Amino acid sequence: MRPFLRQGAAILAVLLLAGCLSSPPTDDHNLPYRLETQRQAQGADQRVRFLVIHYTAEDFHNALNTLTDEHVSAHYLIPAHPPLEEGKPVAWQLVPESLRAWHAGASGWRGRTNLNDTSVGIELENRGYSAHLLGKKFYPYPPAQIELLASLSRQIIARYQIEPRNVVGHSDIAPQRKDDPGPLFPWQEMAKRGIGAWPDAPRVQANLAGRDPHQPVDAQRLLEKLGKYGYQLTDNMTDKQQRRVIAAFQMHFRPADYRGVADAESDAIISALLAQYPDKQ
C-alpha cells in the first residue's frame, strides 16, 4: 500500500473509532452534544422490582373509564372474558411499563414505600366482593382471564427479573385499606407456573411439628416474621390493624381461613416462606 493510502486508512480508522465512541444514542445527528456510552456504571439496577395484582371491583367498561382518567391508572387491564383477535386473547395496555402508573397508592413492601415508583400494576376485571351478614362474598376469576394473566406476568417477570416474593396483591402492600385480589385469586396455581411464591407443603408440615393448625401463637412474633417477609408494620399498631396484616397474609397463602387470627398454621407457612425465599435485597 502506498504511504499516503496507508496514512488515509489510518485516519479513517481513527475517525470511525471516534464515531463509535461519541455517537449519540439516537439517529438524530442534529443534537448540540454527543454522549460517550462505552463505560457503563455498575451501580444501577432495574426500576421495576414488583408486580402488583388488583381487581377492579367494577365491570370492564366502568373500569376502563376509571383507569384512563386523571386520578388512577394501571399498566394493564385484563377483561374477565378476554376477546380474541386472530386467535389471541387481548389485554389492554393503558400505561407503558417505562412510565409510572397510579395503582398502588399509599403502600409498602420489604422496606420500600410508594410502590407506584417501582412496580407494574395489573388490574383484573372482577366484582371484588359483596357484603353479607356473615361477611364478604368474593367472586372467582374465569380460567381464560387467569391464563392471559399468567402469560403476561411471565413476560414482565422475565423482563425485570422480579423475585417470587415481589409478586404481590394490593392487599399485601396496603393491608389496612385493600382486599384485592382477594382469597379466591389462584396464587398457588400461579406459583406452579413460575409466578410468585408459595410455601412448600412438606416444609409447612415439618414446621407445624404436630401442633394443631388452629393453635394460637404469639401475635407479635408472627408479625415480626411477616415484617421480615415484606409486610409493612408500623409502631403502636392497634389489634385491628394487626389482624388486617395477618388477614392479608392469610388471604394470599392460607385462603381457607383469613380471619386474621395468629395461629400455628400461619406461623408454619411464614417460616417456610422465609426459608424458601431468603432476602436478596
Confidence (pLDDT) at 13? 42
Rounded Cα–Cα distance for residues 183 and 41 (Å): 43
pLDDT tens-digit readout, 7-22: 444 434 433 433 433 3
Given a cut of 90, is residue 265 above it in pLDDT?
yes
Q: Would you list the domain boundaries of the chain? A: 50-192, 201-276
Fold of domain 201-276: Muramoyl-pentapeptide Carboxypeptidase; domain 1 (1.10.101)
**Torsion angle of C-alpha atoms 44, 150, 96, 113, degrees rounded to 10:** -50
The 10s digit of each residue's pLDDT in 52-108 is: 999 999 999 999 999 999 999 999 999 999 999 999 999 999 999 999 999 999 999
Instruction: Name the active-site residue from 36, 85, 97, 123.
Output: 123
pLDDT in the model for residue 18: 39
CB–CB of 92/70 below 8 Å?
no
* pTM of this structure: 0.87
Rounded-to-integer distance, Cα 59 and Cα 278, Å: 39
**Nearest Cα to 81, choosing from 140, 154, 12?**
140
Q: Looking only at Cα atoms, what is the longest distance across the chain?
A: 96
123 is catalytic: yes
pLDDT over 60 at 203, yes or no: yes
Q: Say which CATH topology domain 50-192 has.
A: Lysozyme-like (3.40.80)
Question: Pairing mode, if any, of strands 76-78 and 50-55?
Answer: unpaired
The Cα–Cα gap between 277 and 281 comes to 11
